[in-house]
Amino acid sequence: MGLPNKNTLLQRFLQSKQLIPGDWANAVTDFLTSFQALVLVGAATQAAALTVNAANVEFLAGAASAAKLPPSYPGAIINVLNNSGNAQQIFGTGADVVQTSGTTYAAAATGVALASLASATYFCIKAGFWQRSTTA
């Protein structure tokens, strides 16, 4: 199941006379429990990267390649487990940047590596910037 569109979520909330409409609550639950398994193929570039479309993602067996996080928006959290057997490159979408360490960010077209058998949580506090916390 894919990530819900943030504009759709906002519109659902604004149109409702209830405090939290049922379909909005369902969309939040769908987002938090969404899962995607990706077999990464192709070049390790932002243009060739497969797009992540879930809150929880596992990279399966695949050559050293790349994945692209969805567009950043405050509050978004993506958990990634790299079970592919190879280090994988993680990119933001468009001009979004991903934290490399401390206060350093990789250029949008450069991305950051995620080691094999490592996991990372990517979270957005400010639009355009993905922070990360990794196990390795």
Instruction: Give per-residue pLDDT as tens, 4-52.
Output: 666 766 665 555 556 666 777 777 777 778 899 999 888 899 999 999 9
Closest CA to 115 of 89, 96, 92: 89
> Residue 32 has what pLDDT?
79
Q: How far apart are CA 40 and CA 83, in angstroms?
A: 11
Domain ranges for the chain, please list them.
1-33, 39-134
> Residue 89 has what pLDDT?
94
* CATH 1.20.1050 applies to domain 39-134: no
Q: How far apart are CA 86 and CA 106, in angstroms?
A: 20
Asked whether the predicted pLDDT for residue 1 surpasses 60, the reply is no
Residues 6+ apart with CB under 8 A from 18: none
> Residue 90 has what pLDDT?
95
Number of H helices, E strands in the chain: 2, 11
> Residue 6 has what pLDDT?
67
What's the pLDDT tens digit per position in 58-110? 999 778 899 999 999 999 999 999 999 999 999 999 999 999 987 888 888 88
Query: Largest Cα–Cα distance in the chain?
Result: 50
> Residue 17 has what pLDDT?
59
> Residue 31 has what pLDDT?
75
Comparing 28 with 121, the larger pLDDT belongs to 121
